[in-house]
Structure 1
Amino acid sequence: MRLLRPLFALILVAALAGCGFHLRGAGGNTLPYKTMAIALPETADVRIWLERHIRGSGTEIVADPKAAEAVFQQLEDNRQKTILSVNAQGRVREYRLQLTYRFRLVNAKGDEIVAPNELSLSRDFSFDDSQVLAKDVEERLLWRDMSSDLVNQIMRRLSIVKPRDPSRETD
């Protein structure tokens, strides 16, 4: 019986390794580019988060777009806060935060290597007039969470999408 336990554990570990199981982590977002430039202002939230993730994937970020294999370009960054519902007195009860973001990748010549992608995120949160400061903090945290989620989705798309070779024309 004592010999069967280690044998059973060994068989279980071999089965897990054989089926391709691996822990989820940052290593899954490898990019097919050695160097990349980000065409966004230095202080943009999306740029700060994106730089961190791109460096973590092993791709070098360069300042000069002409020296980069790929250049990340933002096409749209639209953020809206709309009223979702009101109470009987006409006061706001809920808000919806909406984020629409479009981007593409081009090479140093400006040829498109990843077609424009659009991401849309939204979060709903309740509002109370008696807790204005707390709800303001909650709103800022939701925007930050949405920016983080946005960059994670961008990285997943960039690591999955097979880049087009602009020198080869296809019909």
Structure 2
Amino acid sequence: MKRRTLLAAATLSPLLGGCGFALRRPQPLPFERLALVGFAPRSPVAEAIKRTLPESVTVVDAPQQAQVVLEALRERRERGVVASTSFGQVRDLQLRVRFGYRLSTRAGKPLLPPTELLLFRDMSYSENIALAKELEQDELYRDMESDIAQQVLRRLQAVRES
């Protein structure tokens, strides 16, 4: 049975290549130089965006050298209590990351209006394992910042200068 499956896979794989099947590739960005402006010095969202950008795009320091400028208007991590016990101990938390930005040309012509992204995750909490929950919280924040970077990248891919 295993040999038949292997033989069928070996027979069908050249046929898939011949029919034009190819894995989906990301859309290329319509620019080659990007400036990140308004971010905090060690901004986790800026670092996630830099990691997400394809190799064909260079992040430059000065907006005058860039074709487009991504300006951070707001970047904030928030945390709120969702549920607590009858004794006032926290049971569930909600973690949020807010990121507001706009995209323009180096001359200041808007390509994307001011946009705000808000992601949130719920997390259970226990005082008994506070250190582990703090590590989980950091991981959830990193995950949300990575998701924001992916969303920004998809919106950058859709930008067309008119």
Structure 1 and Structure 2 fold alike (TM over 0.5) = yes
Q: Which ranges of structure 1 fall in alignment gaps of 5 or more residues?
A: 166-171
Look up the match of 2:15.
14
SS at match of 1:61: strand
Q: CA deviation at 1:11?
A: 5.3
Distance 1:138 1:8, change over 3 A: closer
Amino acid at match of 1:75: L
Look up the match of 2:100.
102
Look up the match of 2:161.
164
Amino acid at match of 1:127: Y
Q: CA deviation at 1:126?
A: 0.4
SS at match of 2:75: strand
Identical aligned pairs, as a percentage?
Answer: 26
Q: Is the 8 A contact 1:114 1:164 kept in 2?
A: no
Distance 1:21 1:87, change over 3 A: farther
Q: Give the distance between the partners of 1:87 and 1:18, measured in 2 at CA.
A: 60
Q: Give the distance between the partners of 1:134 and 1:8, measured in 2 at CA.
A: 45
TM-score (norm 1): 0.78
SS at match of 2:135: helix
Greater CA drift, 112-121 or 144-153: 112-121
Q: Relative contact order, CA 8 A, sep 6+: which one is greater?
A: 2
Q: Give the distance between the partners of 2:92 and 2:14, measured in 1 at CA.
A: 49
Residue of 68, 71, 86 corresponding to 2:69 = 71
Q: CA deviation at 1:21?
A: 4.2
Look up the match of 2:46.
47
Two-structure CA RMSD over aligned residues (Å):
2.4
TM-score (norm 2): 0.82
Q: Give the distance between the partners of 2:9 and 2:142, measured in 1 at CA.
A: 46
Q: Which ranges of structure 2 fall in alignment gaps of 5 or more residues?
A: 1-5
SS at match of 2:143: helix
